[in-house]
Amino acid sequence: MATMSIPAEIDEILGKLPLRIGLYVPDDLLQEWFPPATKDGGVDQLTRTAAEQYAARFECEFQHDAARAEGVFWKWVPAL
């Protein structure tokens, strides 16, 4: 699979993402944006770590859901 850079629009979206709203990204795009992907088509720990580091640049969180085959970027809500 060819490596694809993260579209600039994603930087803009994450920068403006409101609290409690998520950006859901399917595994195939996560594998292209944050290689290396595993040979079996799954998202490995290196990919998850790279996505977490990318999210942190925008004060976002990242979590991967293997059952749904997608990751989500979101801004957490500070304790009220």
Q: Do 23 and 74 touch, CB atoms closer than 8 A? A: yes
Residue 37 lies in a domain: yes
Domain limits for position 52: 23-74
How far is Cα of residue 26 from the mean position of the Cα atoms in its chain? 9
Q: Do 24 and 74 touch, CB atoms closer than 8 A? A: no
Residue 40 lies in a domain: yes
pLDDT score recorded for residue 2:
47
pLDDT score recorded for residue 40:
65
Residue 46 lies in a domain: yes
Q: What is the pLDDT along the chain (80 residues), one digit of tens a residue?
A: 445 689 999 999 999 999 989 999 999 999 999 876 566 667 889 999 999 999 999 999 999 999 999 999 999 877 65
Residue 79 lies in a domain: no
pLDDT score recorded for residue 38:
60
- Please tell me the total count of domains within the chain: 1
Q: How far is residue 9's CA from residue 45's CA, in Å, rounded to a whole number?
A: 25
Residue 4 lies in a domain: no
pLDDT score recorded for residue 35:
78
Residue 5 lies in a domain: no
pLDDT score recorded for residue 79:
65
Residue 63 lies in a domain: yes
| 64 class by beta-carbon count within 10 Å (0-12 exposed, 13-18 middle, 19+ buried) | buried
Residue 3 lies in a domain: no
- Reduce the DSSP state of residue 17 to 3 states and report it: coil
